[in-house]
Structure 1
């Protein structure tokens, strides 16, 4: 089973534009597919402004560790990217995730993506992830692109990625309130971020 890695960076407000430029023009060309496969790259628009979400896939944890070690040996990576972006960042988060509903492309045009981070009560992540997979809360089940559980970084967490053809469709969706009413006893808290795909994001 592949390892999916979600990296969330909080960037200084004045540094966001420069960070995105460095990511697109420096980091992505250096990495290519030799150091993990980039699945998607988004910026927060509502709920997580000045945050960047990037999603990578690795064969397994050992391959991921080898890829990071290989990057650290590259002068261009250290000098042209890392040294430039670290001053622009306030915080970094990493989640290693196992797919419960594997990532699939959107069915049509996308106006906005949404990351939903659901912190569950201890030991309840698998249950909530299965509920999201089997009983999608959105009015159109096709809006849910993937569901994961975390196994490192933050534990007892479920991550869902959804895509919406327009924001009105997202706002009108009442299924989440029903989902929380039915399964809220297993959920500690939820964080939701509407995000926009960057030009260099494979998932658009």
Structure 2
């Protein structure tokens, strides 16, 4: 069975237009959401400015193509949103990823903040770094330092990149959990093993939009 695919869409908005972009999106994005399933929509709070991220789920590349092909024909979507929003966008990045086999997508039970941690591993794929990385993530999860939402391995975009999406009640609880993890010998040992395969890491704090399914 072909695994579900997840599309990460990151938009950089012109700074002077961020407030207008947010208002327009809050009022009209439901039109796009009626076409296919969106996991979540977030605004960057820390780790980047004037950026938004939305993640979409598709059954296959054929499913994605079918959905995307209908959007230009959607008059309401084009007139109420696309035509107005295009001048506000400075940059757009798209990646396609799969959930790693040992992770299931978990929707948080209540509202909070999200942390997207993006790891760039050395070439070779999960066959090289997979087990060490799994051990490091599992140690964090088992000790409840944060709630794991999903782990995505990039298929299109930068290869050997993994996005880990975490949920916390707020930014302070995230900071407290991180401090405890750094003092946990089990976490330290697992991380020390996995970083041998790591080239870089980027952390971003995300705030869910009012219409985001994952809050």
TM-score interval w.r.t. the shorter chain? 0.7 to 0.9
1:156 alignment partner, one of 153, 160, 165: 160
Shift of 1:180: 4.2
* Structure 1: gaps of 5 or more residues: none
Do residues 52 (structure 1) and 43 (structure 2) align?
no
- Corresponding residue for 1:197? 208
Is 1:132–1:147's contact at 8 Å kept on the other side of the alignment?
A: no
RMSD value over aligned CA atoms?
2.3
- Corresponding residue for 1:33? 34
Is 2:141–2:147's contact at 8 Å kept on the other side of the alignment?
A: no
- Corresponding residue for 2:134? 130
d(CA) in 1 for partners of 2:133, 2:88:
34
TM-score, normalised via structure 1 length: 0.87
| Structure 1 residues 58-83: Cα deviation after superposition (integer angstroms, max 9, x where no partner) | 11111101111110222333333222
- Equivalent pairs counted in the alignment come to 201
TM-score, normalised via structure 2 length: 0.83
- Corresponding residue for 2:114? 113
Please say which structure displays the higher CA radius of gyration: 2
Task: Map 1:169-188 to 2 at 5 A.
Answer: 169-172=173-176, 173-174=178-179, 175=181, 178=188, 180-188=191-199
d(CA) in 2 for partners of 1:93, 1:138:
33
Is 1:129–1:147's contact at 8 Å kept on the other side of the alignment?
A: no
- SS of residue matched to 2:140: coil
- SS of residue matched to 2:115: strand
d(CA) in 1 for partners of 2:208, 2:115:
10
When residues 30 and 68 of structure 1 are mapped into structure 2, their CA distance, relative to the original with a 3 A threshold, is: same
| Structure 1 residues 110-137: Cα deviation after superposition (integer angstroms, max 9, x where no partner) | 4321111111111235616534553336
Is 2:146–2:168's contact at 8 Å kept on the other side of the alignment?
A: no
When residues 159 and 138 of structure 1 are mapped into structure 2, their CA distance, relative to the original with a 3 A threshold, is: farther
When residues 164 and 149 of structure 1 are mapped into structure 2, their CA distance, relative to the original with a 3 A threshold, is: same
Task: Map 1:26-105 to 2 at 5 A.
Answer: 26=28, 28-34=29-35, 36-100=36-100, 101-105=103-107
Is 1:125–1:158's contact at 8 Å kept on the other side of the alignment?
A: no
* Structure 2: gaps of 5 or more residues: none
